[in-house]
A and B are shown apart, each in its own frame.
Chain A
Amino acid sequence: GAVVSQHPSRVICKSGTSVKIECRSLDFQATTMFWYRQFPKKSLMLMATSNEGSKATYEQGVEKDKFLINHASLTLSTLTVTSAHPEDSSFYICSAMPTSGLYEQYFGPGTRLTVT
């Protein structure tokens, strides 16, 4: 089956620093990847849609300069949380949509970010 990985799985950083999270599709190419944020016991909130070779599309209320997204290849998208603050602590999940697919999206295992 289609596998999506995320790295790191957990990260703790100090307030003011930047953190990069990688999302990789391991056995398929993904023109489109999505980034979500999930608070405890809550649903997934779409942050942005990432398309290979073009700028990401951010959802309303999501700060573009704070959450930098780069989709450098058909198998890799990165999310950089810049100047992180404690309120950025959350579970970040990516999903990847196969280039050949219509609706299917495969989710990564998530990255737990804790900002101290």
Chain B
Amino acid sequence: QQQVKQSPQSLIVQKGGISIINCAYENTAFDYFPWYQQFPGKGPALLIAIRPDVSEKKEGRFTISFNKSAKQFSLHIMDSQPGDSATYFCAAIVYSSASKIIFGSGTRLSIRP
């Protein structure tokens, strides 16, 4: 099973609040989990990524929490800002499978000023 399930589909957060996006996967062969940020009319850009042997990774206001036993991972955006308004995709990669990226369905995040 190659699917990566992402929720919620859309999210509205007040400025300064915490935005949380969740993803779940089935394939235990996945060995790299990136998050991408995409603005309208632009290509996605890598935001932060984690490997399954780590439970948490933090870069600035962005944190990935990873639960290997539950096969779930989430993105937390602290002190959310209007400039964070974008679509976020979680993803998973199996290096041995020609590094194909399996994308989640995306979350449209809106930060209210």
A interface residues, Cβ below 8 angstroms from B: 4, 6, 32, 34, 41-44, 46, 49, 57, 91, 93, 95, 97, 102-110, 112
Tally of B interface residues using CB under 8 Å: 22
Closest to B102 in A: A46
Q: State how many angstroms separate the Cβ of A58 from the closest Cβ of chain B.
A: 12
Q: How many A-B residue pairs have CB under 8 A?
A: 55
A43 near B104: Cβ-Cβ < 8 Å: yes
B residues 51-102 near A (Cβ < 8 Å) are 89, 93, 95, 98-101
In the bound complex, how far is the Cα of B41 from the Cα of A109, in angstroms? 8
In the bound complex, how far is the Cα of B101 from the Cα of A34, in angstroms? 10
In the bound complex, how far is the Cα of B40 from the Cα of A112, in angstroms? 12
**Residue in A95, A105, A106, A108 with the greatest tally of chain B CB atoms within 10 Å:** A105
Main secondary structure of the interface of A (DSSP, over half): strand
**Residue in A43, A97, A109 with the greatest tally of chain B CB atoms within 10 Å:** A43
Closest to B6 in A: A43
Given A49-B98, A93-B43, check contact A44 B89 (CB 8 Å): yes
Q: State how many angstroms separate the Cβ of B85 from the closest Cβ of chain A.
A: 15
B interface residues, Cβ below 8 angstroms from A: 32, 34, 36, 41-46, 49, 89, 93, 95, 98-101, 103-106, 108
Given A42-B106, A103-B49, check contact A32 B44 (CB 8 Å): no
Closest to B51 in A: A103
Determine which of B44, B49, B108 lies in contact with A93 in the assembled complex, contact meaning CB atoms within 8 Å.
B44
In the bound complex, how far is the Cα of B32 from the Cα of A91, in angstroms? 26
| Complex interface: chain A residues within 8 A of B108 (CB) | 41
A104 near B46: Cβ-Cβ < 8 Å: yes
A97 near B89: Cβ-Cβ < 8 Å: no
In the bound complex, how far is the Cα of B98 from the Cα of A42, in angstroms? 23
